[in-house]
Amino acid sequence: MRLCFTACSSSIFGLALATCDVSGLKVPGAALPAQSAPTRYVTYGTGSQNYTCGSDGKYAPAGAVARIFDISCTYNPDTGTFTPQQQLGNHYFVANPAHGSGLSAKWDFNTAPETYVVAVNQKGIPAPTGPWDIDWLYFSAAEGSLATEIYRTHTKGGQPPASVGLLLLVFKKVVLKEVTV
């Protein structure tokens, strides 16, 4: 998961900012909306993409859970391993803040009440890396002040089978996300 945030002072809501300048990095994927602000952080996330069995015999998305790590100084899809101290926060789904029904993505850095964003998916494109990778997405903030834009790019895996079977399925996802504030 790669998150990118705009540069500012030495801390944001109690978080130490990345020591590497990533403000010049741009979100890949010409079909996604252009960034409206420079990049602040680059992060990596790992977790699971969750699905539910639909009445039509197909899987439907049911959220995701991921841990978010700062890789601003090691910007590379092959990120290696991380220590718990490098974990910035978590990504998961919550009730839609506008009307309370349905799910909205939340990125929560857990360091102060302001370090989260709940966002609405505005646009998606098929992952250019292949049909087995979940779509690249652009989100806009609906609540919270951590970011105004979130880009999910560089996804690896996470797609369900074409039809529902009698298997217990656990899908791992390694997703790179970019977020700008």
pLDDT at 65: 94
Domain for residue 5, yes or no?
Answer: no
Residues 6 or more apart whose CB falls under 8 angstroms from that of 100 comprise: none
Domain for residue 3, yes or no?
Answer: no
Domain for residue 21, yes or no?
Answer: yes
Structural domain of residue 119, as residue ranges?
11-180
pLDDT in tens, 77-96: 454 555 545 788 999 999 98
Domain for residue 80, yes or no?
Answer: yes
Number of domains in the chain: 1
Domain for residue 107, yes or no?
Answer: yes
Strands 149-156 and 171-180: antiparallel
pLDDT at 51: 87
pLDDT at 6: 34
Distance CA 77, CA 129 (A): 13
Domain for residue 1, yes or no?
Answer: no
Domain for residue 6, yes or no?
Answer: no
pTM of the model: 0.76
